[in-house]
Structure 1
Amino acid sequence: MTSATPAAPPAAAPRSDRYAWLVLGILCFVYVLNFLDRQLLSILAKPIQDDLGITDGQLGRLGGLYFALFYCILGVPVAWLADRGNRTRVLTIACALWSAATIACGLSANYGQLAAARMSVGIGEAGGVPPSYSIISDYFPPHRRGRALALFNLGPPLGQALGVAFGAKIAAAYDWRLAFILLGAAGLIAAVGVWAFVREPRRGATDTQPVAADMAGEAVSFWMTVKTFFATPTLLLVALAAGATQFVTYATLGFTTLFLMREKAMTLDQVAIWYALVLAIGVSSGIYLSGRLIDRYAARRPQVYGTIPAYALLLAVPFFIGFVAAPGWPLAMTFLIVPTFLNYFYLTPAVTLVQNSVAPRQRTLAGAVLLLIMNLIGLGLGPTWLGAASDWFRASHPDHSLQYAFYTLVPFYLIAAALHLAVARTVKRAHGVQS
């Protein structure tokens, strides 16, 4: 594993490769479906609760702990296999598996069957993102990688927005089960598209300073990569900071639709329009802008990998409180735009820092370790925490249990910002030592 300080860009940029952008577009589309399938449970929480009779705590575990255990833990060995084999093939199989499991969600007749289907979605999605990170990094050089990964990371907000728009519309017009079945079928078609159109790139093809082990074609040890990741302060800190941020973002995503409908008197049709717009504009703008800022400033001021997300999170706090406290959904939506934009300034810096800091043959596995840490913390614990908190507050505040549960997320904003500032100090120190 190389230094944690990203490489400076070359003097001249290579000519744009149209096929690289085609590959990026296909991978982004798959990521849209990946996140759409993942978030459909939270989008359709109200009709699912009404049909199956599950509590907020059970809903939180379905979307959080049960899903994350398989998604995060299996992601590491799958990524190791992808680093040693064909990443495109791994992605194709993974996409087909999670799409079939999404169809199974729509066919579930009780809580146990739905839990098993969600776990299966997690197993499939474990092979989705890390291979894509690595493939993109071998199609785009370091000085353009931040922008490329930022565009790829538009998958989550687009998936969230499309899920809210189409998932809610289908559920309102027909049935929540049909939404799962149709989206799963679309994922099976996408898996065929990956197999047919995405070529496996040569590892390290776009790196300006190849690592000796990779030039020799040596396979990097699984445990060596994992051990070095945890022993590198910058990489471990950025994973913990991203995890603390995702604790807030996944908890919020997991229950916002239910919160708006139950406590802000919003209908499913209104959610399909207004909340979809907030997600599409806010999250995608935050992810893309942070990537452009990283490409522009990181070579001269590497501490921006930490300071950009830290300041964004601190600025988001008062608007998040305004969203939770607003008396009705129109004002709540107005407040929600700002944290939806700022909460996602962490993702592209974290992914870019890790991808730029490791050898080409370690990128898939290093990306998987990053996802393991941040998703176990954020995806595994965030929705689980918020659902349990809502159940706990229900005894004393039956009409506003989710509102009080949302307030408990404010301290996690501050923890995440503090960790990102620690990342900034560590990256700056590493850069200063090597300058």
Structure 2
Amino acid sequence: MGAQATVNASQGWTQTWPPARAAWWAVAVLTTAYIVSFVDRQILSLLIEPIRADLAISDTQVSLLGGFAFALLYTFAGIPLAWVGDHHSRRWLIAAGAAFWSVMTALCGLSQTFWQMFWARVGVGVGEASLTPSAYSLMGDYFPPDKLGRPMGVYMAGGAVGSGVALVVGGAVIAATATLPSISVPLVGALKPWQLVFVIVAIPGLVVALLALTVREPKRVREPLQPAPAQREGRKIGPNAARYLGRNWRLYLPLFGGFALISLMKNAILIWTPTMFMRAHGWDASSIGYWYGAFLLTLGPLGAIGGGWIADHLRGRGIREGALWVVVVATCASAPIAVSMPLVQSSSLALVLLALLTFVLFVVGSVTPTAFQLATPNQMRAQVSAVALFVNNLLGIGFGPTLVALITDYVFGADSALSYSIAIVALVFAPLSALAFWLALSCYRAAAPGEAT
């Protein structure tokens, strides 16, 4: 397929986009990288109980491994790495990051103490911080605005697939190795089954590092493609993303805040739901891994891609803030489901609610970044994405799992109260997120870029 052009005669600009085949190959590689990154990130959620037992740590300490340790430099490294992505080769940056996070995932499996695993998880976060801002930026330069929702949805579906693979494969490996004795590794010593899982899932990331080098760097557009007020202002300030965000804070502050708040709830649920089913319903790790993994593998991508399709459809009908409307509705729908899921007595009903919640949360997760991209000039997309991810990850990944653990350990003081802790977090943060997105709507109507239709 040849290149395509987007023309706006009234505004006097023309943009030629890369061939569709090259663009979708890039999406395929970036999505694969995102899947693998989520496997390495999320596998810990299925291994909480054996890690607690072998390292003699509490729920709060486990939550620090699952959230804060990963988010610490994943959050703070994201912005400087995004600057590198805006000024140098994005594919080389992604390749180097994939190789690094894979090595650090393997080191998680070699850890013998809490602090060894803590710093290994920090390393995983540093490597993965290279991926998403540059991936967003690449897709923003590969696709015209009215076709960006679908590739973004496909990419964001990778998070669901990766989380699902982590749970399904992790559950299978746990079941297969449960009766095996410790495996002795030269220079390392004996490895327990949970440690072996980390080593195994680290291998695909090295393949991803090579695949990233097959993605072509598209031409960067140095002029904003859309004539919206915020975009015209972006033309005056050039690459100064900080000044751009400052002048458009009424739009970006609630967008960033809503994204972070829903992420806090989402990450709390991702990390603690398997353990909640084990404690409240007596399930084993492999059983909940298969079920929750199946939901993430099917309903997660369906929500992510479907949300992107709906956003594109609304935009095509002239609703410039259509992407944000999708986010508002899905966030509102998530609140009652997320509160009810951990509290119901029937494990079958809890599974049904978990399936619905998985779908809705991945609609929000896929369409919110699309809204960011459509409101941001091309030359600042990676940096604005990195700022969004900074806030999102610091609050969402960094504190979501730990907030649940703190309530369990220090408010209820009992492992059996985990279900109530999850429900409390959902009850507070889902409505706050919906309110923040709602507040962003009025500013988004004025600032969202749109071509005359």
Q: Normalising by structure 1, report the TM-score.
A: 0.90
Partner of residue 184, structure 2: none
Question: Quick check: 243-252 or 39-48, which moved more?
Answer: 39-48
Q: Distance in 2 between matches of 1:179 and 1:292?
A: 36
2:285 maps to 1:268: yes
Q: 1:237 to 1:76 in 2, by over 3 A?
A: same
Structure 2 Cα separation of the partners of residues 206 and 288 of structure 1: 29
Call closer, same or farther: CA 1:268–1:11 in 2, change over 3 Å.
same
Q: Is residue 54 of structure 2 the alignment partner of residue 36 of structure 1? A: no
Structure 1 match to 2:217 = 200
1:330 Cα offset (Å): 2.3
One-letter amino acid matched to 1:72: T
**161-170 vs 17-26, which moves further:** 17-26
1:231 match:
247
| 1:361 paired to 2:364 | no
Structure-1 separation of matches of 2:171 and 2:449: 51
Which residue of the partner structure matches residue 405 of structure 1? 421
Determine the structure 2 residue equivalent to 1:21. Answer: 24
**Contact kept? 1:266, 1:329, Cα under 8 Å:** no
TM-superposed CA distance for 1:203, in Å, is 0.8
SS in 2 for 1:345: helix
How much is the aligned-residue C-alpha RMSD, in angstroms?
3.0
Query: In structure 1, which of residues 106, 115, 120 is the aligned counterpart of residue 118 of structure 2?
Result: 115
Paired residue type of 2:196: L
Match in the other structure for 2:339 = 321
1:112 and 1:344 map into 2 onto residues whose CA distance is 32
Q: Is the 8 A contact 1:265 1:329 kept in 2?
A: no
Call closer, same or farther: CA 1:149–1:206 in 2, change over 3 Å.
farther
Counterpart residue identity of residue 264, structure 2: F
2:198 is aligned, of 180, 187, 190, to 180
The superposition leaves residues 356-382 of structure 1 with CA deviations (integer Å, 9 ceiling, x where unpaired) of 222222111111111111111211111
Aligned partner of 1:60 in structure 2 is 63
In the comparison of the two structures, how many residue pairs are matched? 422
How far apart in 1 are the matches of 2:373 and 2:202? Answer: 30
Q: Please, which runs of 5 or more residues in structure 2 have no aligned partner?
A: 1-6, 178-192
1:376 and 2:413 correspond: no
Contact residue 233 and residue 244 of structure 2 kept, 8 A:
no
Cα separation, partners in 2 of 1:387 and 1:325, compared to 1, 3 Å: same
Taking the aligned partners of 2:34 and 2:237, their CA distance within structure 1 comes to: 27
Report the residue type matching 2:342 in the other structure: V
Q: Match of 1:324, SS?
A: coil
For residue 352 of structure 1, the aligned residue among 370, 377, 400 is 370
- Looking at structure 2, the residues matched to 82 and 309 of structure 1 have their Cα atoms a distance apart, in angstroms, of 27
Deviation at 1:424, TM superposition (A): 1.5
Greater relative CO, 1 or 2 (CA 8 Å, sep 6+): 1
TM-score by length of 2: 0.86
How many angstroms apart in 2 are the aligned matches of 1:200 and 1:303? Answer: 30
Q: Deviations over 1:335-365 (max 9, x none)?
A: 2111111122222332112222222221111
Distance in 1 of aligned mates of 2:336 and 2:252: 30
Runs of 5+ consecutive residues of structure 1 not aligned to the other structure? 1-6
**Alignment identity in percent?**
27
Q: 1:145 aligns with which of 123, 143, 148?
A: 148
CA contact under 8 A between 1:244 and 1:412: conserved in structure 2?
Answer: yes
Deviations 1:119-165 (A, max 9, x none): 11111111111111111111111111111111111110000100000
State how far apart, in whole Å, the 1-side matches of 2:327 and 2:215 are.
Answer: 32
Of residues 79, 88, 91 in structure 1, which corresponds to 2:94?
Answer: 91
Asked whether the equivalents of residues 83 and 361 of structure 1 are also in contact (C-alpha less than 8 Å), the reply is: yes
Out of 333, 350, 357, the position equivalent to 1:339 is 357
Once residues 391 and 274 of structure 1 are traced to their aligned partners in structure 2, the CA distance between those partners, rounded to angstroms, is 27
Which residue in 2 is equivalent to 1:247? Answer: 264
Deviation at 1:176, TM superposition (A): 1.3
Instruction: Check the 8 A contact 2:17/2:141 in 1, yes or no.
Output: no
Q: Does 1:164 align with 2:167?
A: yes
Where 2:167 maps in the other structure, the secondary structure is: helix
Judge which range, 314-323 or 276-285, deviates more.
Answer: 314-323
Contact in 2 for aligned 1:69/1:376 (Cα 8 Å): yes
